[in-house]
Amino acid sequence: MLAGKKRVAFATLGCKVNQSETEAMKDLFRERGYQIVDFDEEADVYVVNTCTVTHLADRKSRQLVRRAGRRAPGAIIAVVGCWPQTAPRAVEELPEVSVIIGTRDRSRIVEYVEEAARRQERINRVGVLDERMDFEELPLDYSTRTRAYLKIEDGCDRFCTYCIIPYARGPVRSRAPERVRAAAERLAAEGYREIVLTGIHLGLYGRDLGHGVDLITVLKLLEDIPGLERVRLSSLDPHEVTPDLLAYMAEHARVCPHLHIPVQSGSNAVLKRMGRPYTREEYLKLVEKIRRVLPDVGLTTDIIVGFPGETEADFQATLDLAQQAGFSRLHVFSYSPRQGTPAAAMPDQVDARIKDERSRRLIALGKELALKFHGRYLGRTLEVLVEEEREGGDLAGYSGNYIRVRLSGPDALMNRVLPVRITAVTPDYVRGELA
C-alpha cells in the first residue's frame, strides 16, 4: 500500500499549539518523501491531531477517523495528541485506527506509521508524562504566510478544576533559550515579520530551567534579530503579568501592546470553585495597572459560562467585570464537563439552554466592547502588518494591539508593516487607508 509516491492527509483540532505540531509532523513526512494532500482526498496515511478540551472535540475526532476509514479503507490512520493521551481506551475501540500516539514522541510518527504498515498491526505508543520529560523539539513551527507561531513551552501543572489539559500535556517543559533564538532567526530569515510566542501555559516558561530564566529572558534574546519587526505573546494568566514584564513591553516597541489574559468568570464564588488563584478585584486592579503602563493595549480574554453552580447573579458579575475591564475582544466558551476533572462531579450543573442563552448575551456584549475599542482609533493611525492574502478583495492585517484592519492597495504592500489611518469601524474589523 505504501509503495511509490505516498500520500498523507492531516486534520487538526484545537489550539495554535496543535496547529504548530501538525505543521511539524507534515515536515517529517515530507522529509521521507510523502506528498501532503487534503483530508477529503484519498491517501495512504491519515493523521488526526486531536483536542480533548470538550466532549465535542472528542466526538469530532471520532468522526474524522471514521470519515478517513470510509474514504480509504485499508489506509493507515494515526490518532495523535491530547485525546489519546487522556483516553487511550476510547481510541483503541475504533477499529479503523492503526497508530496511537499521545503528546510525546510525535517526532517518531513516520517511523510508527511505517512500522504499522509493515507489520499490519496496531502500534500504540502513548507514553507516561512525568518530570523526566524534556521539551520535544519538532522541526517546523506553525505559520501563516506572514506571522509565525513559535512554541517555546509545553505542559501545565495548575490543575484548574474544569481543565483536562494538565493530564493531557504533563509537566512544564521549556525550550532552551538559545534554541528559541535559533528558531526565531530562521523564521525571520524566511521572511516572517511577526513571531507569536506560544505554549500550553506560556507564562510558566523557564520555570523548569532555573537560573532566573523567564519570558523576559526570551524577549531580550529576540531584540536584535534582523527582519523581525514584532513579537507577540499568546496568553498569560493574571499573576504572570508582572511589573517587570509591563515595563519591558512599554520600553520596547517591537513587543506588541496586546495581552490575552483569561479571566474565566467575574464571580469570586465561581473563581474559587474553578481553582483560579485570583479574585475579580485583583483582576480589575491588574487591568488598571496595565492601562497605566500601556494606554493603547489590546486586552483580550477567555470566559467560561455555565460553570457548575453559576447563578444569574454570578453571570451578572461576569458581565459587569467585562464592562469594567473594557476588553477589546471576548472568547466565550460554554462549560463542558470533562471526565476525570473535579468540576465534572460538582453538583448544580447548569442546564444547556441556560448556558446557550448566557453565551449569546456575553457574545453580544463582546461585540459592543469591540466596537467601542475600535472607535477610539477612528481618525488615528495604526501600524499594520499586512498579510500575504486578501480578504473580500481587500488587503487585511493586524495592528500591534490586535485590531483587524482592512484597506485597499496592491499586492506589493503585503508582508510589510505600514501606517494606516482608520476611516471606519465595525465590531469585527476597521477600515483604513495608507497614511
Q: What is the pLDDT of residue 423?
A: 98
- Answer yes or no: is 132 within a domain: no
Could you read off the pLDDT of 387-398 as tens digits, one per residue? 978 888 899 999
Q: Does residue 430 register a pLDDT over 90?
A: yes
Computed on alpha carbons and rounded to an integer, the radius of gyration of the chain in Å comes to: 22
Rounded distance between C-alpha atoms, residue 396 and residue 398, angstroms: 7
pTM, entire model:
0.86
Between the alpha carbon of residue 44 and those of residues 10, 73, 247, the distances in Å are 11, 9, 52
Q: Summarize the confidence of residues 233-252 as an average pLDDT.
A: 96
Q: What is the pLDDT of residue 300?
A: 98
Q: What percentage of the chain has pLDDT greater than the value 90? A: 77
- Answer yes or no: is 138 within a domain: no
| Structural domain count, the chain | 3
- Answer yes or no: is 182 within a domain: yes
Could you read off the pLDDT of 60-81 as tens digits, one per residue? 999 999 999 999 999 999 999 9
The reply to whether 367 and 271 lie within a common domain is yes
- Answer yes or no: is 136 within a domain: no
CB 376 within 8 A of CB 422: no
The reply to whether 337 and 413 lie within a common domain is no
The reply to whether 302 and 412 lie within a common domain is no
Backbone angles phi, psi at 126, to 5 degrees: -75, 115
Between the alpha carbon of residue 85 and those of residues 158, 166, 172, the distances in Å are 18, 11, 16
CATH of the domain at 93: 3.40.50.12160
- Answer yes or no: is 229 within a domain: yes
Rounded distance between C-alpha atoms, residue 228 and residue 234, angstroms: 17
The reply to whether 92 and 168 lie within a common domain is no
- Answer yes or no: is 77 within a domain: yes
Q: What is the pLDDT of residue 141?
A: 47
Could you read off the pLDDT of 270-283 as tens digits, one per residue? 999 999 999 999 99
The reply to whether 73 and 13 lie within a common domain is yes
Rounded distance between C-alpha atoms, residue 254 and residue 223, angstroms: 8
Rounded distance between C-alpha atoms, residue 336 and residue 305, angstroms: 10
Rounded distance between C-alpha atoms, residue 366 and residue 362, angstroms: 6
- Cα angle: 147, vertex 168, 304; to 5 degrees: 70
Instruction: Give the residue numbers spanning the domain of 427.
Output: 381-434
The reply to whether 89 and 20 lie within a common domain is yes
CATH of the domain at 402: 2.40.50.140
